[in-house]
Amino acid sequence: MIYLDNHATTPVDPQVVATMLPFFTEHFGNAASRNHAFGWAAEQAVETARQQVGALIGASPKEIVFTSGATESINLALKGVADMYGDKGRHMITVNTEHKATLDTAMVLAGNGMEVTVLGVDRFGSIDLDELAAAIRPDTVLVSIMHGNNEIGTVHDVTAIGALCKAKGVLFHVDAAQTAGKLPVDVNAMGIDLLSISAHKLYGPKGVGALFVRRKAPRVRLSSQMHGGGQERGMRAGTLNVPAIVGLGAACAISQAHLQSESARLTALRDRLFAGLNERIVGVTLNGHPTARLPGNLNISLEAVEGESLMLSLKAIAVSSGSACTSATLEPSHVLTAIGLSPEAAHTSIRFGIGRFNTEADIDTAIQVVSEQVGRLRQCAVALA
């Protein structure tokens, strides 16, 4: 099998696994146990990971809160702000191409009295900054916009958005699950107040993530959504998952060390894949922004080919027809319909997610197999017509 679904999840880097293993057996202490060496070792490992995560995004270690993943981080950010800043305002802004973790949370808040403005995007999946500026009101407390889209790969200009939010005195949350460790992220330069990441999107383990919470200029305060032991400065109670947190830290350190070279390599592989498919297949359309996109993302529509049928025919290649979180539904992708595709056109899409362990040989095999299967499916469609 050739794995080309790295937006859904990534394999854990062997170096990350090696770093984690001692914390299952040798250093198994509870990081909250302050009375003996087992607890001290666990606490030190957690603090090292906190430094590694902070370094990747330009944050202080004290601004990192560990969670179970980006979905929990997003929930904590949005619900925590809504609860804490309710006296200031009851309005937030997001975008219709966000991950369901953001959109569904926003809808829950809307049901609890928060007014939510959902902005549209253009045909490339980009927002209009003037439209965002016009949507910000005196009672707006939060703008939540993802950095890079998990389906079509479009990267938003979060620096410009952050500057706008700062000028308006509005908190800015960024879902960086797809960009942390793959594109440069600097929470201070970009004017970000809250930022969510997930370890399993950057070659770390599943079930762990982090939320950046700004401590000054401004100091962001959140209402906890989980209560109990007071861990993570009272923002996220529960015994810390030390092995996973160690893995997240190691994954961040590795990604930071190789970010530029890996980004360039993945971009080259993506372009090789798109060029090869275009050369062999008629009717290929790129979905998302042609240049402002994730390095390893290629989302295409194939004329007269049903995406699910193609995906199932690629027995030796793992790809996706949409987000992993919504792939169980037969509804067309909300992201693809948001950029103007008809439900029929949306159903012809395939998402390739190229990652750290893919090679040129993988790409060349994918080009050959996909083009052969597209030809076969089109011939079958003609025969049945």
Tell me which residue has tokens 């966000």: 98
Say which of 165, 252, 325, 380 is annotated catalytic. 325
Q: Is 325 a catalytic residue?
A: yes
Q: Residue 295: helix, strand or coil by DSSP?
A: coil
Q: Is the Cβ–Cβ distance between 319 and 373 less than 8 Å?
A: no
Residue type, position 116, single letter: V
Pick from 208, 171, 203: nearest CA to 187: 171
Question: From the CB of residue 358, how many other CB atoms can be counted at a distance below 10 Å?
Answer: 22
Question: Of 369, 180, 325, which is closest to residue 263 (Cα–Cα)?
Answer: 180
Distance of CA 289 to the CA centre of its chain: 17
For the stretch 10-43, what's the b/e string if a residue is b when 16 or more beta carbons lie within 10 angstroms of its beta carbon? bebbeebeebbeebeeebebebeeeeeeebebbb
Distances (CA, A) of 244 to 11, 27, 66, 145: 14, 13, 10, 27
3-state secondary structure of 94: strand
Among residues 178, 181, 201, 205, which one has the least CA distance to residue 257?
181
Residue found by looking up tokens 């829950």 in the block: 108
Structural contact between residues 142 and 78, judged by C-beta atoms closer than 8 angstroms: yes
Backbone angles phi, psi at 57, to 5 degrees: -115, 10
Question: Positive or negative, the Cα torsion across 177, 178, 182, 183?
Answer: negative
Q: Which residues are catalytic?
A: 325
